[in-house]
Amino acid sequence: MIELDWGARTDTGHRRHHNEDTYLATPYLFAVADGMGGHQRGEVASALAVQVLAAATAQGAEGYGRTLILDAVREADRCISNEATNDATRPMGTTLCGLAAVTPLQGLPLLVFNVGDSRVYRLRYGQLTQVSHDHSVVQELIDSGELDPDLAENHPERNVITRSLGSGFPIDIDWWTLDAYAQDRFLLCSDGLVRELTDHQLKTVLAAGLPPQATADLLLHQALESGGRDNVTVVVVDVVGVDPCHHGQGDDTNPRHKALPTSPRFDLPDLPSFPVTTPSETDT
Ligand code: MN
């Protein structure tokens, strides 16, 4: 069993007329969806994603099975695709990333999932690591060595994502099961946050020792101060405690990364650096 504490904020920002982001924050499930589509269709898509996820997990007592969460993401995709098909002249879609507590019977205590370019980060012992991997043209170019990460911000296709909910194509969900330790802190956010703040700025705020809601408030405030050019959504989740029985083997991941080695048990002072291969190390 795992105990979590959290804070969340979303804001339209300074440039957009509507907020197409939606978030979900419940005791054992957190998600951020960033909708796309004209005529407020993005708002419908991101809200649908969150509603389907919330409905599917309404019964969870201490967490959820991984299959239940991933099936809910697929169901959300179907709902949005159906809605989009009803008015083919107005396509819509959404990103969706999330963090869920996994039921104690299923091994490791946390599940991270992602479709699109909203992000999940983890702060552990002062080190910030991006857990999710963007499904975007820019990220694919970086991965293939064709684009210098420093040039990504000004790339003409920086807004183009390669996976989304509602596309009408079968979705491929990235997911990771993770061990958790007291004082681990997770950040879920839409691209409107990371476009405005550097990794160093993110880490400074996340590691400042503020409670999760104050941390979410401050991150949002800084993103707006930096320009607020897109909708901004921030969900901060703290691991308050983890039942010792809930640490476990059987770490597995789909499809982008190999299994993560299981971390040493409990609060060893010198944990290994986060052993995911592809996501950028953002500790600076
Ligand atoms: Mn956005």
Strands (E), 125-168: 127-130
- Give the C-alpha separation, 194 to 149, whole Å: 14
Query: If you measure from the C-alpha of residue 46 to the centroid of ligand 1, how many angstroms do you get, rounded to a whole number?
Result: 11
State the pLDDT at residue 253: 55
* Those residues with Cβ within 8 angstroms of residue 213's Cβ, 6 or more apart along the chain or in another chain: 6, 7, 8, 236
**From the centroid of its chain, how far is CA 1?**
21
Q: Tell how far the Cα of 120 is from the centroid of ligand 1, in angstroms.
A: 14
CA of 126 to the centre of ligand 1 (A): 27
pLDDT top residue among 174 and 245: 174
Over residues 205-216, mean pLDDT: 98
What is the structure's pLDDT at 243?
Answer: 82
Kindly report, residue by residue over 217-238, the tens digit of the pLDDT: 999 999 999 999 999 999 999 9
pLDDT digits (tens, 9 = 90+) for 137-193: 999 999 999 999 888 888 998 889 999 999 888 899 999 999 999 999 999 999 999
201 C-alpha to ligand 1 centroid (Å): 19
**176: nearest Cα among 108, 248, 81, 236:** 108
- Give residue 151's identity as a one-letter amino acid code: L
